[in-house]
Amino acid sequence: MRRIIWLPLLLLAACHAHQVQGKQTTMEAPPKEPQVSSERPVRTTPGGMLDPTAMKKLQAALSRHGVKTPESGQLDEETQAAIRKFQANEKMAKTGMPDYDTLRRLGLDPKQIYLGGTQRASRKTQ
């Protein structure tokens, strides 16, 4: 009885291994698909995604919440220290970066802060 059950299972496993072996690919050559390109460079850090107007809004919000920081419009060391202090007061991870959760707790709309710079920049170029 056991042989009757094991034999089909063994054949099924061998068939699957044969199918999988034929589908393996190697990366000997780079992919032939075209690479993505953009007219504007992609910003990868929060500091690069915030323009001076958005940074001043962030700095003003920090001051309203009792964490004084000069409104320089830059994500400088003083601003990062103020963000860390605010995050510590709110019992958040002290990263010093203006992430979405930090912006929300400051009463700011992250989409307006991060996208606002892009919209303002595109209006200037038109």
Q: Flag the least confident range among 38-42, 79-83, 101-105, 118-122.
A: 118-122
Q: How far is CA 38 from CA 41, 43, 121, in A?
A: 7, 12, 16
CA distance 59 to 67: 9
CA distance 67 to 78: 11
CA distance 21 to 9: 18
pLDDT tens column, 44-93:
566 567 788 888 999 999 999 999 998 888 888 999 999 999 999 999 99
Q: Where are the domains of the chain?
A: 46-125
Question: Do 57 and 107 touch, CB atoms closer than 8 A?
Answer: no
Given the candidates 3.30.420.40, 1.10.3720.10, 1.10.101.10, 1.10.760.10, the CATH classification of the domain at 46-125 is: 1.10.101.10
